[in-house]
Chains A and B, each alone.
Chain A
């Protein structure tokens, strides 16, 4: 019996080690390109043109970052990205919460049909609607505006679905207790139920923010004025042609610069991101 227990423990230890080794290997695979990008951004462009492996050898320089800070519109693009990502996230949270509450708690004619229609939105790819959307936004004069960049992302069927399910999971006894506590319907939503959905809000907010931050296609279509570029479009615009190798250090410096806000977001919301990814929040 004791021997069995001991061998079980050994088996577990061995299993743990294998998992740990695999995790470390995966982490290296994930992190190495990023470190490589950081390394490239610290080398002069001329040196890189000769040999990209020179990353590992001195001299290193901050020249590329200096060039970014004084020479490009990257601050403007960063600001645009922040405005669009934060605005879209807040918009998605507000609309999805209200819609989710409505679908979960209010009774109105056609509720189930409308909910299914919203879910259909999950199945429609952006490519299928982008021409029509472009035309619509053009007619409404919304291109090259923040509203134009944010609005399409705010129709978030996944958000509505997530929040509906989350509100449904809250026992209606809680609403009833608040009704007996003289709370108005809006107060029940705002003060009682909404705070209970914070984990879902965090998940949805983070995913929306990351999606908006990394989005390339719609900002490319809608924000044609350089002043309205987001970071992704802006950085791409500095590259003259695909797979260009000239100015590699500068390009990497921009990529690192663009990634910093995401890193900061991750540092602050790490707990929620891990939960969101593992699905524990829902």
Chain B
């Protein structure tokens, strides 16, 4: 089964570059998620792979075929659109078989494929209905069914869950993951929802400002973000950032001095850091534990408390005026305006240089 290869792909609309020299390789049967904020170019990249947008420079390969000059119908890809894009005047069965009829597949084969896909998606009872007569979730299933029957080499999903309500979104997400187990094809899934990306992807492509920021597994993206953007975009609550001054700590690791004077010993090797005018410290809430005043590296006043049940998020104002989000137990008794201490886990500290590149704690004896 083929993989997908994007080589130096560029797209411009007039004077504006919307995809800037992107290269990317997707393995056969891989579930790849394009993640990024609105306008970062992720949908455009997907549409270029589908053939719905032209490629101004670069090449797109699916398996051993170069496809960037082929019309969409000849690329052996199937796409599921955000707004379903079903044909409203056709029944569900006609919607699913339309593409197969166009390539003149024998009727018996069309019937087999439609029946099998409908069974897989549990929409057999809807086959003779029209899209207007079924619910939003069912329409999305039909759209997925229309993609499945084509038996494509590559599935493309353009924010397919964003029109569904929260409960249905979770269910459909699971079903798409299950679908991927059953079909022999790669999938590219575009979303701005990091939970979708983290739960579905083998690898995530984080995009920002027309370029790829990082490609990695969900845990790589989460725990070793390549840039400050990735660190800030992935994870809820967002990573805390604060400017720091670095000094040499024990065992070749660096120590970071926070603006309020607190010193944190990191697990980042001093030798791994580049020369940089300044460094920014990044740390997630889960590496900041609330403790009694005096027992942590720093302390402050609780400004706001978010109780999430299994844990509690405490927004702490430090003495220098900055605010960080720290974590406490689910049954935390911290109240607004309480003075609290904050224990900082040096292993959870990330440093970002003046180019916004991330540097992380040593892993199995090697530093990045």
Interface residues of A (CB under 8 A from B): 171, 173-174, 176-183, 187, 191-192, 195-196, 198
Contacts and interface: CB of A to CB of B under 8 A. Distances in A.
B139 to A, nearest CB: 12
Given A183-B99, A192-B87, 7 more contacts: A171-B85, A173-B83, A174-B85, A176-B72, A176-B85, A187-B102, A196-B89
A183 B77 CA distance: 14
Contacts of A181: 73, 98-99, 102, 146, 150
A171 B84 CA distance: 11
- Give the dominant DSSP class at B's interface: loop
Contact of A177 (B71, B79, B103): B79
B129 to A, nearest CB: 17
Nearest to A173: B85
Contacts of A178: 87, 98
Contacts of B103: 182
B165 to A, nearest CB: 21
Interface in B88-114: 88-89, 98-99, 102-103
B73 A177 contact: no
Interface residues of B, number: 24
Contact of B71 (A179, A192, A198): A179
Contact of B73 (A171, A173, A180, A195): A180
Contacts of A173: 81-83, 85
B89 A195 contact: yes
Given A176-B52, A187-B102, A182 B73 contact: yes
A196 B88 contact: yes
Given A176-B52, A176-B72, A183 B102 contact: yes
Contacts of B32: none
B143 to A, nearest CB: 8
A174 B85 CA distance: 5
Contact of B77 (A171, A177, A180, A198): A180
A176 B73 CA distance: 10
A227 B116 CA distance: 63
B88 A182 contact: no
B78 A180 contact: yes
A238 to B, nearest CB: 47
Nearest to B77: A180
A171, A180, A182, A183 pick with most chain B CB within 10 angstroms: A180
Contacts of B85: 171, 173-174, 176-177
B53 to A, nearest CB: 10
Contacts, number: 59
B87 A182 contact: no
Contacts of A187: 102
B62 interface: no
A174 B77 CA distance: 16
Contacts of B50: 176, 180
A182 B89 CA distance: 18
A187 B85 CA distance: 16
23 contacts: A171-B83, A173-B81, A173-B83, A176-B81, A176-B85, A177-B85, A177-B87, A177-B146, A178-B98, A179-B51, A179-B52, A180-B72, A180-B77, A180-B79, A181-B73, A181-B98, A181-B150, A182-B99, A183-B98, A191-B98, A195-B89, A196-B87, A196-B88
Given A176-B52, A176-B81, A177-B81, A183 B73 contact: yes
B50 to A, nearest CB: 6
Contacts of B83: 171, 173
Contacts of B79: 176-177, 180
The 6 closest A-B pairs by CB, nearest first: A181-B99, A182-B73, A173-B85, A177-B85, A182-B102, A195-B89
A132 B292 CA distance: 96
Given A180-B78, A183-B73, A174 B87 contact: yes
Nearest to A184: B102
A62 B253 CA distance: 113
A173 B50 CA distance: 12
B156 to A, nearest CB: 9
A132 B30 CA distance: 69
Contacts of B73: 179-183
Nearest to B104: A182
Nearest to B89: A195
A117 to B, nearest CB: 26
A174 B139 CA distance: 14
Nearest to B82: A173
Nearest to A198: B89
Contacts of B82: 173
Contacts of B74: 182
Interface in B43-62: 50-52
Nearest to B97: A181
B243 to A, nearest CB: 45
Contacts of A176: 50, 52, 72, 79, 81, 85
